[in-house]
């Protein structure tokens, strides 16, 4: 199977892009549109605030002009002078003219935006003019009050336009002076000439491309327009349909997208309309700048996040990739590869646990391969030994049959009985296809062994069998009882006692078969018993540690058992206990004790089974 080396890294990156970046990008687009709209509204509100300030400032300037011109009424001598005609006396008229020019100078100095002030005295028939540089001009002529009409009531004024309605034009602020309290006797007309270019509240507001600022009078005629091509007629048509409040900004849309700000400037004597067209492009420009800055920051954050993500992915996936390389090497058959080169990972997390688990698994696999190799060699050796062993027992059994026939023909029944017993023992041991027998079979085999020993040594020996009938029918592994009895002859030195005795007991206790073999020989003491029990405990631990979880012996455990009991001095006891442990596990036990004063006693405990445990397991 072909495996992509970087498939996991690509999948994680795709997941990150699809699962994280795309939703964040979509959210950012929505957020950008919202921010753009909010910034546009904020810019429009700022423009409306600036527009309102312009209207307030312009109204304040016009009130300043009006208050300055009303200053004539505060000079009672000036009003008296204007009510009189000329006296004809040169010195007196010169003094009067000087007084008029001084008053004009005071008023002009209070209005820095004005270029000149002009006083037309109808009673005196004189026109007095003073410029912002305080130059004086006077002229005489037959004058009559103009028919100015509304709103030229006492203390009122009106404004007219001189020139073009742009920055080059001039506003002429006119106030008639009445002979108070009369409202019809006009004494003079005061006129302030104010260049529109000096009204920075108007000319300083149009700095954005496409922005138009207009000042319309109460009839819709333009007094000022920052763009001469502006359609003031269309604007006036819109303005006429609005319900106005004094000094309150109204907003409407001209065309398709451009918002228009309008405010009514209403003072005593005139009503003006300050109109400002704000192009949508200029309003969006600030929002676009903010959105572009935000996009740049977002892209930077995304790139930084991707770099951190790639770094973190490499930190996580690099050890996994090395483990994959190590697994490929092992799968190719190279079990001797050093895993240390692929496990340089020190973070205490799941990857480190995985690396250590794979390391332990490889050690287990290597040990299993070595054990399997040793087991194969042992099996081949055992097969050869079994082939050789099949020849020798048959030859011996046939030879013993010939000896028995010769003894019978020679009328020697005792010799015949011994040979027959030996042949039966040989036949019993040759039946390797029956590893499980009854306890009674073991008792019969052990009796033949004892009879041969008594015939051999010609010494008295008392044998006592205490066997429960049900216990005699229990199934046990073959060659369990005879090695225990043989131990009394070989190590217990039972034959050295004048009245030797071997006692064998078998009983059932709570589902277990208990075998007790004891003698009164001379081969044991307390230290020896302790050593035997220690050896049996060590043997039990070594075998049970190698059994698998369901209690079935692993193939190599027989070799382990043979190694364990083959190194001690009590081969028979170790052999019996090893085979019991391999068959029954923790359900069996063996214990040695001292039969006073120097006798030996061994106790076996194993499950009481009426059927072959191997057959039951197979079924």
How many CA atoms lie less than 13 Å away from 569 in the CB half-sphere?
Answer: 10
The answer on pLDDT for 569 being more than 60 is no
- Domains of the chain, earliest start first: 75-200 (3.30.450), 462-618 (3.30.565.10)
**pLDDT the model gives residue 557:** 41
Confidence of residue 429 (pLDDT cuts 50, 70, 90): confident
DSSP character at residue 71:
G
Residue 23 to residues 31, 36, 72, 149, 294, Cα–Cα distance (Å): 12, 20, 74, 71, 17
Angle subtended at Cα 549 by Cα 545 and Cα 552, rounded to the nearest 5 degrees: 85
Q: Which residues pair with 266 in a beta bridge?
A: 271
Tokens of 318: 């690099």
Between 600 and 387, residue with greater pLDDT: 600
Residue 189 to residue 119: CA distance in whole angstroms: 6
Judge contact between 223 and 118, C-beta under 8 A: no
Q: What is the separation of C-alpha 433 from the centre of its chain, rounded to a whole number of angstroms? A: 65
Condensed to tens digits (0 to 9), the pLDDT of residues 595-605 reads 877 788 999 99
- Lowest mean pLDDT of 413-417, 474-478, 549-553, 613-617, name the range: 549-553
Question: 139 pLDDT band (50/70/90 cuts)?
Answer: confident
pLDDT at 431 > cutoff 70 = no
472 pLDDT band (50/70/90 cuts)? very high
Contacts 24+ apart (CB under 8 A), 18-23: 21/302
Mean pLDDT of the chain: 78
Mean pLDDT is highest, among 319-323, 383-387, 479-483, for 479-483
Per-residue 3-state assignment (H helix, E strand, C coil) for 546-611: CCCCCCCCCCCHHHHHHHHHCCCCCHHHHHHHHHHHHHHHHHCEEEEEEECCCEEEEEEEEECECC
Beta strands in 196-351 (DSSP E): 212-216, 222-225, 250-254, 258-267, 270-277
Q: Which H or E run contains 170? A: strand 170-178
Q: Is the pLDDT of residue 87 over 70?
A: yes
Tell which wins on pLDDT, 356 or 194.
Answer: 194
Containing 204, the helix (H) or strand (E) segment is none
| CA–CA distance, 93 with 403 (Å, rounded to integer) | 188
As a whole number, mean pLDDT of residues 121-132 equals 88
pLDDT for the residue numbered 2: 47
DSSP H helices, 170-261, are 200-203, 232-240
- Contacts of residue 421, defined as CB under 8 A and 6 or more positions apart, other chains included, come to 448, 451, 452
pLDDT surpassing 60 at residue 175: yes
The number of angstroms, rounded, from the C-alpha of 401 to the middle of its chain's C-alpha atoms is 87
Question: Which residue stretches of 332-412 are H helix?
Answer: 350-409
Distances (CA, A) of 158 to 176, 179, 217, 536, 547: 9, 18, 11, 131, 119
Confidence (pLDDT) at 345: 66
Contacts 24+ apart (CB under 8 A), 328-331: 330/362
User: Between the CA of residue 582 and those of 79, 252, 370, 508, 547, what are the distances in Å?
Assistant: 141, 101, 22, 22, 8
Q: What is the mean pLDDT of residues 240-269?
A: 75
Max distance between CA atoms of the chain, in angstroms, equals: 204
CA dist 529 and 527 (Å) reads 5
Say which residue, 176 or 144, is predicted with more confidence: 176
Torsion angles phi and psi, residue 400, rounded to 5: -65, -35
Pairing of strands 136-140, 212-216: unpaired
When pLDDT is cut at 50, 70 and 90, the band that residue 570 belongs to is: low
| 149/239: higher pLDDT | 239
Q: In percent, how much of the chain has pLDDT > 70? A: 81
Please indicate, yes or no, whether the overall pTM of this predicted structure exceeds 0.85. no
- Whether the CB-CB separation of 205 and 125 falls below 8 Å is answered with no
Cβ–Cβ < 8 Å for 557, 545: no
Asked if 524 contacts 492 with a C-beta cutoff of 8 angstroms, the reply is yes
Q: Which helix (H) or strand (E) holds 518?
A: strand 512-519
What is residue 34's predicted lDDT score, i.e. its pLDDT? 73
């Amino acid at each position: 199977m072909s495996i992509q080396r970087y498939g996991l890294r690509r999948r994680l990156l795709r997941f990150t892009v699809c699962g994280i970046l795309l939703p964040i990008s979509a959210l950012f687009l929505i957020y950008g549109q919202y921010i753009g709209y909010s910034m546009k509204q904020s810019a429009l509100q700022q423009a409306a605030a600036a527009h309102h300030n312009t209207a307030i400032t312009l109204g304040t300037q016009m009130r300043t002009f009006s208050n300055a011109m009303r200053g004539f009424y505060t000079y009672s001598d000036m009003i008296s002078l204007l009510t009189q005609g000329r006296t004809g006396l040169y010195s007196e008229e010169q003094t009067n003219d000087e007084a008029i020019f001084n008053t004009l100078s005071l008023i002009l100095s209070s209005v820095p935006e004005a270029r000149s002030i002009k006083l037309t005295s109808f009673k005196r028939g004189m026109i007095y003019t003073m410029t912002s540089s305080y130059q004086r001009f006077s002229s005489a002529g037959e004058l009559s009050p103009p028919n100015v009409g509304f709103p030229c009531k006492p203390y009122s004024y009106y404004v007219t336009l001189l020139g073009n309605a742009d920055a080059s034009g001039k506003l002429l602020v006119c106030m008639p002076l009445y002979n108070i309290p009369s409202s019809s006797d006009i004494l003079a007309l005061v006129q302030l000439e104010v260049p529109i270019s000096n009204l920075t509240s108007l000319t300083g507001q149009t700095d954005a491309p496409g922005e138009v600022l207009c000042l319309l009078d109460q009839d819709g005629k333009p007094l000022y327009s920052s763009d001469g091509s502006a359609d003031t007629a269309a604007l006036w048509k819109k303005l006429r349909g609005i319900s106005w409040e004094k000094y309150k900004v109204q907003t409407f849309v001209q065309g398709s997208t451009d918002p228009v700000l309008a405010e009514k400037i209403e003072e005593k004597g005139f009503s003006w309309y300050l109109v400002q067209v704000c192009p949508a492009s200029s309003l969006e420009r600030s929002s676009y700048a903010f959105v572009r800055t935000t996009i740049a920051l977002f892209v930077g954050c995304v790139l930084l996040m991707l770099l951190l993500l790639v770094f973190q992915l490499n930190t996580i996936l690099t050890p996994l990739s090395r483990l994959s390389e190590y697994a490929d090497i092992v799968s190719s058959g190279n079990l001797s590869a050093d895993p240390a080169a692929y496990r340089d990972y020190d973070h205490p997390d799941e990857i480190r646990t995985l690396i250590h688990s794979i390391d332990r698994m490889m050690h287990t696999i290597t040990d299993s391969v070595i054990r399997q190799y040793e087991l194969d060699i042992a099996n081949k050796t055992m097969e050869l030994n079994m082939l050789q062993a099949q020849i020798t027992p048959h030859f011996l059994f046939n030879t013993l049959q010939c000896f028995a026939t010769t003894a019978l023909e020679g009328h020697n029944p005792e010799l015949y009985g011994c040979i027959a017993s030996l042949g039966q023992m040989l036949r019993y041991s040759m039946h390797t296809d029956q590893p499980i027998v009854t306890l009674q079979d073991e008792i019969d085999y052990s009796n033949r062994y004892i009879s041969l020993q008594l015939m051999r040594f010609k010494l008295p020996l008392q044998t006592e069998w205490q066997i429960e009938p049900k216990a005699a029918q229990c199934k046990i592994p073959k060659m369990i009882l005879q090695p225990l009895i043989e131990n009394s002859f070989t190590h217990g030195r039972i034959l050295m006692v004048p009245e030797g005795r071997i006692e064998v007991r078998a009983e059932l206790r709570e589902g277990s078969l208990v075998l007790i073999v004891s003698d009164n020989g001379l081969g044991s003491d307390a230290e020896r018993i302790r050593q035997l029990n220690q050896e049996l405990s060590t043997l039990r631990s070594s075998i049970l540690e190698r059994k698998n979880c369901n209690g079935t012996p692993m193939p190599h455990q027989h070799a382990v058992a043979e190694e364990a009991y083959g190194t001690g001095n009590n081969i028979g006891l170790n052999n019996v206990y090893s085979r019991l442990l391999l068959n029954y596990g923790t359900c069996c036990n063996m214990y040695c004790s001292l039969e006073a004063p120097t006798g030996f006693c061994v106790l076996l405990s194993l499950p009481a089974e009426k059927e072959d445990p191997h057959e039951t397991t197979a079924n």
